[in-house]
Amino acid sequence: MRPRSTNSITIKDVARLAGASVATVSGVINRKGTASAGMRRRVEAAMSALDYQPDILARGLKTGRSRVIGMLVPDVSNPFFIEAMSGVEETARSRGYSVILSNSNEDPAQEQANLGVLHSHRVDGVVLASVSGQAAFDRATRRRFPIVFIDRLPPGRFAGKAVIIDNADAGYRAARHLIGLGHTRIAVIAGHVELSLGRDRVAGFRRAMREARLTLRDSYHHEGDFLPANGYAAGRALFELAEPPTAIFSCGNGITLGLMRALTEAGKACPRDVSILSFDDVPMANYFHPQMSTVAQPAREMGREAMRILFAALEPDASEAKPARGNLTVLQAELRIRESTARPG
Amino acid sequence: MRPRSTNSITIKDVARLAGASVATVSGVINRKGTASAGMRRRVEAAMSALDYQPDILARGLKTGRSRVIGMLVPDVSNPFFIEAMSGVEETARSRGYSVILSNSNEDPAQEQANLGVLHSHRVDGVVLASVSGQAAFDRATRRRFPIVFIDRLPPGRFAGKAVIIDNADAGYRAARHLIGLGHTRIAVIAGHVELSLGRDRVAGFRRAMREARLTLRDSYHHEGDFLPANGYAAGRALFELAEPPTAIFSCGNGITLGLMRALTEAGKACPRDVSILSFDDVPMANYFHPQMSTVAQPAREMGREAMRILFAALEPDASEAKPARGNLTVLQAELRIRESTARPG
DNA sequence: CTGTTAGCGCCTTCAA
DNA sequence: TTGAAGGCGCTAACAG
């Protein structure tokens, strides 16, 4: 066995240099306030002289807490998850935690495996954007670390904690905006309708249509996943219609990308020929043309909130304990109207 | 002290259920091949029955290896780093390692702090896109974990490992492309010229200009950082010139974003009024207009390569040991010509 | 106020 | 082929 690198300095080295015992050193590290001022100063001097860093692994072995939390997302290149991750990381670090980022590649098996790895690392908690809701949740439950779901709710009965947005409302308001502009031929490109988030967006959308006594023709309704390919295929089909829609609601940023390409290839212009309302506000997209009108999810805030909930479970005694809300934290999406939506030609 | 969650199952539980000793179980976990076939089967059955996951922290304490590597970048929302990180994560996972992602926010102090945290977590190695080259490297050296630098080279004498691209060549080819198109009034918006990567891009660019007997006017040369604000400011200045450039070389994707906004506000069209050649190929950008001609860095490959180098240092005996190259791995950028560059009006 | 010490879960000699 | 025991660095009793 290869020993730990020999020049790694331990609490013993600090104790020796400071002329104290390891317990004393440990005490000042953890601010137990049980050491005299003089002693504390000597210990602190020794620590910085040696450039000592406590071994969190060893500490974790003793305390049962690793000070690491895991974040597991389906797609690390999706700006939405990046933004959420950024919120998680920022909040975690402010409390002295680190984040292991894990990618499930939209693959349930991968998700299972990664959950196992996170367990192996004894993460104190996990923020999970799940691919395969139910299964993951069952296993996760057994594994016994707190999980906060984000963005996607596991199907079926769900008793865990989650931070999501009100997708039905978001879909509803999206439709209202388009309808208010005067559109009647409105299409929707949905993502995974097996996921509640996918279903809800469409449901809210349909409700607004119904209220306005508008019908959503079958040919104006596409389903699939959240990837550009889906948006592209749907866009092509839509633009080839004898009577194409004058407005399209795209349920995800990936879908929108594919849709934009289809639009270009069809020789159409947005919003002149067709209005496009997208989900997810991708900062970068606002530098290009047309600047997208979007239903913006507070991604970073979702990450922060998920961490707050996790901490509440991890450190129930922490001062800023939140009043115990329900298990579901529902954030509101926000309509951001820019250039891509306009009155019908 | 709160004990480790009581239902966490250990190697002892597995040994008991399998009717073996912990040493035997440890042997089959680590494939030492020292247990009988029957025993091995019993142990494996017990492990899966109990859904046992070895405690990597405890293992690390013993072996001195955490099976975690750290990745520290200046800006997690920059697609370039995301892409690189993705390559790192993928390669790490394939070898049984996890990745702690850390954000220095372009702040040297933050970088120092995070390096300390990573050390505390006893990461086996670090992939670092450094903000403050020299200082970070000094401290890092003392900390004694292998570091592979990526993208940015620390200034001054540098003896560590790094994966970068040939920035001078990239700048050279960028200029050649614009010159070949017939442009003579060519501007460049540089990033941090304190960083070698920033300097080199401009140097290569200038060389090509010189060779073509073209001059780079002072008013056509802007410096700053890699953020959109810089691109925006430079763009405004450029477009207000009595004789504005017909082509602009932007040294980073962030710069390009700001530049595009300035372009729009100036009422100009690309490439009709001005050609724009950008650094960094951001996949998303190709769905918008105009599709960007770019000098594409192999970001994901840089991440992968950095991990390979790290593994070579971590596990020198691994079969796929690379022939010992120098410390610097230089990848080539690739010119991807799309719509944003054309012959001058 | 400070020192001694028993483990946390695991891996690895060393004996049997 | 298997079992017993020590110790990695740290924290928290418990003694002094």
Higher-confidence residue of A236 and B21: namely: A236
Q: Which residues from A are below 8 Å from B287, CB to CB?
A: 228, 257-258, 260-261
In this prediction the pTM is 0.92
Q: Which residues from B are below 8 Å from A121, CB to CB?
A: 56-57, 68, 98
C1' (D13) to CA (B19) span, angstroms: 34
Query: Quick one: pLDDT at residue A51?
Result: 87
Of B56, B122, B260, the CB nearest to A288: B260
Q: Which residues from B are below 8 Å from A264, CB to CB?
A: 289
Which nucleotide is closest to A64, CA to C1'?
C8
Give the tokens for residue B27.
């042997």
Query: Quick one: pLDDT at residue B3?
Result: 41
pLDDT tens for B78-97 read: 999 999 999 999 999 999 99
Determine whether the interchain pair A5/B64 forms a contact, defined as Cβ–Cβ distance below 8 Å.
yes
- The residues of chain A scoring below 50 in pLDDT are 1-6, 319, 323
Q: Is B194 exposed, middle or buried (0-12, 13-18, 19+ CB in 10 A)?
A: exposed
Higher-confidence residue of A138 and B13: namely: B13
Using pLDDT thresholds of 50, 70 and 90, give the confidence band for residue B7.
Answer: low
Residue A216 to residue A126: CA distance in whole angstroms = 40
Which nucleotide is closest to B34, CA to C1'?
D1
pLDDT tens for B322-341 read: 545 678 999 999 999 999 99
C1' (D9) to CA (B115) span, angstroms: 20
CA distance B98 to chain A (A): 7
pLDDT tens for B213-237 read: 999 999 999 999 999 999 999 999 9
pLDDT tens for B149-159 read: 999 887 777 77
Give the tokens for residue B168.
């001078």
Determine whether the interchain pair B121/A142 forms a contact, defined as Cβ–Cβ distance below 8 Å.
no
E-strand stretches of B31-115: 68-73, 98-103
- Cα of B89 vs its chain's centroid, Å: 11
The mean per-residue pLDDT over the stretch B103-124 comes to 91
- Closest residue of chain A to B116, computed from CA coordinates: A53
User: Above 70 in pLDDT, residue B185?
Assistant: yes
Residue B162, classed as helix, strand or coil, is strand
Query: Quick one: pLDDT at residue A31?
Result: 73
Residue A297 to residue A306: CA distance in whole angstroms = 14
CA distance B316 to chain A (A): 13
CA distance B207 to chain A (A): 31
Query: Quick one: pLDDT at residue A283?
Result: 82
Q: Which long-range contacts (CB under 8 A, 24 or more apart) does A211-215 make?
A: A212/A175, A212/A179, A214/A179, A214/A184, A214/A186
Nucleotides of D under 7 A from a protein CB: 1-5, 7-14
**Percent of chain B having pLDDT more than 70?**
92
Average pLDDT, chain B: 89
φ, ψ for residue B248 (rounded to 5)? Answer: -135, 135
Neighbours of A215 (CB within 10 A): 12
Beta bridge partners of A161: A148
pLDDT tens for B255-290 read: 999 999 999 999 999 999 999 999 999 888 788 888
pLDDT tens for B24-62 read: 999 898 877 677 888 888 899 999 988 888 999 999 988
For nucleotide D3, the protein residue with its alpha carbon nearest to C1' is: B21
The mean per-residue pLDDT over the stretch B291-306 comes to 96
